[in-house]
Amino acid sequence: MTRYALRRLGQSAVTLVLVSIVVFLGVRAMPGDTARALAGEETNPKALEAIRHQYGLDQNIAVQYGRYVEQAVTGDLGTSARTGLPVVDAIFEALPVTLELALLSLLLAVVVGIGAGVVAAVRRGRPAEWFANTLALLGLSVPNFWLGIVLILGFAIAVPVFAASGFVPFGTDPLENLRRMVLPVVVLGSGLAAIVMRQTRAAMLESLSADYVRTARAKGLAPHQVVGGHALRNSLVTVVTVLGLQLGHLISGAVVTEQIFVLPGFGKLMIDAVFTRDYAMVQGVVLFTAAGYILVNLAVDLLYSVIDPRIRLGGAP
């Protein structure tokens, strides 16, 4: 376990360094004067000079990178050119919105996806499987931003049950918060649910025909013990892996969903920053997202080593 964890930790650290280099070079690679870009609307030569000094642009690139990393590690991701406030503050303000959206969507995807996947595998060849497969295919083929528009048309305009836009903090009004989150969560969760469902179904079909399931039946176990205790337990390894791989989709999806439903989250922060040419903000948000992605992925890997003893104990493939 520890050896595996350490190796994964090392890999993640290497990736993190590479990511920081890419992000660092990304802004430096911009055509034109970096200081001018970082300054945003500011064109005062004195201010530019200050920025040049603040970001160390007058120094050698390796030194610049060192400074950049040092600042990032101490929580300084620069200052927003638009608001003049620290980028970190803006990130932490937007984070709860995105986290709520992402976690609720993940929950939806896991519950619906695994449930439908198991049903489709166990009821193979019956209408239930056909129904689940069709839903999954639609979930994969309907782009979530269009689904968002259609849902707004249906459930916020034609039949105004849910709100189409805006965010109310959970602490302020929990019910209103959830009412406004329903549509975004459905939009973001449905595509992921489709992917989880397909993987669960495929993995379940494989495990249900495995020898150890025959053994479980030969032991006289009840169907729910065979399906839940043996087949699903094995399939989870695959499903958790897939969930890890889909994290990127979740983040991308969150950006769009926030844009459609006007949620003041991470994605909106990022898109707005691009259009206002707030480069410090873009750089900060991209770095933060990538780092977060790496860390969550690490957590997922460690999680499935808990599920699968072959990984945990480093045994045969």
Task: Name which of 110 and 298 has its Cβ closer to other proteins.
Answer: 298
Q: Which ranges of the chain does DSSP label H, i.e. alpha helix? A: 2-28, 34-39, 45-54, 61-73, 87-122, 127-141, 144-152, 174-208, 211-218, 223-224, 233-245, 247-261, 266-275, 279-307, 309-312
289 touches other proteins (CB under 8 A): yes
By CB under 8 A, the residues from 14 to 53 that bind other proteins are: 14-15, 18-19, 22-23, 26-27, 29-30
Task: Name which of 35 and 175 has its Cβ closer to other proteins.
Answer: 35
Distance of CA 297 to the CA centre of its chain: 10
165 touches other proteins (CB under 8 A): no
Residue 269's closest CA among 51, 80, 34, 143?
80
Cα 151 from Cα 215, distance rounded (Å)? 47
202 touches other proteins (CB under 8 A): yes
DSSP string, 120-159: HHHTTTSHHHHHHHHHHHHHHHS-HHHHHHHHHIIIIIIS
309 touches other proteins (CB under 8 A): yes
**Rounded to the nearest whole angstrom, what is the least distance from the CB of residue 46 to other proteins in the complex?**
26
130 touches other proteins (CB under 8 A): no
Task: Name which of 170 and 249 has its Cβ closer to other proteins.
Answer: 249
Select the residue interacting with other proteins from 5, 9, 135, 271 (CB under 8 A). 271
Distances (CA, A) of 79 to 2, 102, 140, 244, 281: 40, 27, 39, 32, 7
125 touches other proteins (CB under 8 A): no
**Rounded to the nearest whole angstrom, what is the least distance from the CB of residue 116 to other proteins in the complex?**
17
**Rounded to the nearest whole angstrom, what is the least distance from the CB of residue 236 to other proteins in the complex?**
8
Half-sphere exposure in the Cβ direction for 261 (13 Å, CA): 38
171 touches other proteins (CB under 8 A): no
Distances (CA, A) of 133 to 113, 123, 128: 11, 12, 9
By CB under 8 A, the residues from 217 to 246 that bind other proteins are: 217-222, 225, 229-230, 233-235, 237-238, 241, 245
Residue 250's closest CA among 107, 132, 116?
107
Cα 132 from Cα 212, distance rounded (Å)? 26
Task: Name which of 86 and 292 has its Cβ closer to other proteins.
Answer: 292
Select the residue interacting with other proteins from 1, 66, 111, 215 (CB under 8 A). 215
Select the residue interacting with other proteins from 243, 270, 284, 305 (CB under 8 A). 270
103 touches other proteins (CB under 8 A): no
Interface pattern 139-158 for other proteins (x via CB under 8 A): -xxxx-xx--xx-xx---x-
Residue 235's closest CA among 289, 308, 133?
308
Task: Name which of 8 and 178 has its Cβ closer to other proteins.
Answer: 8
**Rounded to the nearest whole angstrom, what is the least distance from the CB of residue 316 to other proteins in the complex?**
5
**Rounded to the nearest whole angstrom, what is the least distance from the CB of residue 237 to other proteins in the complex?**
6
